[in-house]
Structure 1
């Protein structure tokens, strides 16, 4: 018996994550206080692991199908997003500047996702064997499991940098997340 997860290909998985990201943008925009902070932290985690895993699995495969120019443009967008997300995280949701800067960030991320969906994914779909796309989904999930949960724009944006720096940064981030969550639970 196979599960839906085993049958899902990498493009379906990424499109599903894009929908989750859009929903989290909406939650952040519609929330205040602690719910806004929680939604932003969830968005930060999802974006960090999503982009890191894409850089390790999807973009290298897409180079053959979509070409260097398309992939390099996506990598530059992702690096800009990492810097913006790190700045937003440092700023905090309670800052008077947060909402305006978050709106700019949201527009850039949604534009990036649209570029992937229109330029990269269709070529992967038509030029890559369906079984390979399913295996890539498994590789993406594995990469996400050891990816940092915060943006680290200075760590690099290529597969080798992610493989070397990703796991130690992921351990640090996940430890920091656990301590933050524990502290918040103690306030309740």
Structure 2
């Protein structure tokens, strides 16, 4: 979390981290605690990333990119589908027969979302914004990820101002739960 650089560099570094975790999941031959730990790790990264995008990236897309409302709405719909899958995975035991299909669906959804952002949204944003604006957005994204929730909350607001008001408190509760349970420490 927190790679430096402008908004697109920061978010692309997150994408590579998630892809690395997915690769480690695919290399596993069984379930058990190792799989649960990797599912928790990818959940934490995806939730932090999504919350930060919802707080800062998509409002910037709406403001600066032609057709930004349509683009942001589509990205938010992608996030809702991923968050629902993460919630299902959170409730599924690592050795449950539903785990593998849920993970496959998650990987496909995330891969499509990443491809769309990197090939379509990010180039539009780079064209529409100054390097200073992109740098400022990168800083805001890093700060938001540091305060973001670590667990899926599909019913939480995904647009400002409500998401900016509620996410830090939810994040604090999630991090306290993680600390008590040891989640995300492996």
Which aligned segments of 4 or more residues in structure 1 are displaced greater than 3 angstroms? none
In 2, are the aligned partners of 1:83 and 1:153 still within 8 Å (CA)?
Answer: yes
Partner of 1:19: 16
Q: Provide the TM-score with structure 2 as the length reference.
A: 0.90
User: What RMSD, in angstroms, separates the aligned Cα atoms of the two structures?
Assistant: 1.7
For each residue in 1:84-111, what CA deviation from the matched residue of structure 2 results, as whole angstroms up to 9, or x when unmatched? 1111111132211100111011101110
* Count, aligned residues: 179
In 2, are the aligned partners of 1:27 and 1:36 still within 8 Å (CA)?
Answer: no
In 2, are the aligned partners of 1:70 and 1:119 still within 8 Å (CA)?
Answer: no
Partner of 2:149: 148
What residue ranges of structure 2 are gaps of 5+ in the alignment?
A: none
In the alignment, the residues of structure 2 paired with residue 161 and residue 107 of structure 1 have an alpha-carbon distance, to the nearest angstrom, of 29
Is the partner of 1:154 in helix, strand or coil? Answer: coil
For each residue in 1:21-42, what CA deviation from the matched residue of structure 2 results, as whole angstroms up to 9, or x when unmatched? 1111111222242222211111
Partner of 1:42: 41
Q: Which has the higher helix share?
A: 1
Partner of 2:174: 173
In the alignment, the residues of structure 2 paired with residue 175 and residue 130 of structure 1 have an alpha-carbon distance, to the nearest angstrom, of 37
Is the partner of 2:149 in helix, strand or coil? Answer: coil
In 2, are the aligned partners of 1:148 and 1:169 still within 8 Å (CA)?
Answer: yes
Comparing 66-75 with 54-63, greater Cα deviation is found at 66-75
Equivalent residues in 2 for 1:38-117 (5 A)? 38-63=37-62, 64-66=64-66, 67-117=68-118
In the alignment, the residues of structure 2 paired with residue 180 and residue 30 of structure 1 have an alpha-carbon distance, to the nearest angstrom, of 26
Is the partner of 1:159 in helix, strand or coil? Answer: coil
For each residue in 1:121-151, what CA deviation from the matched residue of structure 2 results, as whole angstroms up to 9, or x when unmatched? 0011111000111111110011111110011
In the alignment, the residues of structure 1 paired with residue 21 and residue 160 of structure 2 have an alpha-carbon distance, to the nearest angstrom, of 27
In 1, are the aligned partners of 2:33 and 2:94 still within 8 Å (CA)?
Answer: no
Residue 10 in structure 1 maps to residue 7 in structure 2: yes
What residue ranges of structure 1 are gaps of 5+ in the alignment?
A: none
In 2, are the aligned partners of 1:21 and 1:47 still within 8 Å (CA)?
Answer: yes
Q: Provide the TM-score with structure 1 as the length reference.
A: 0.89
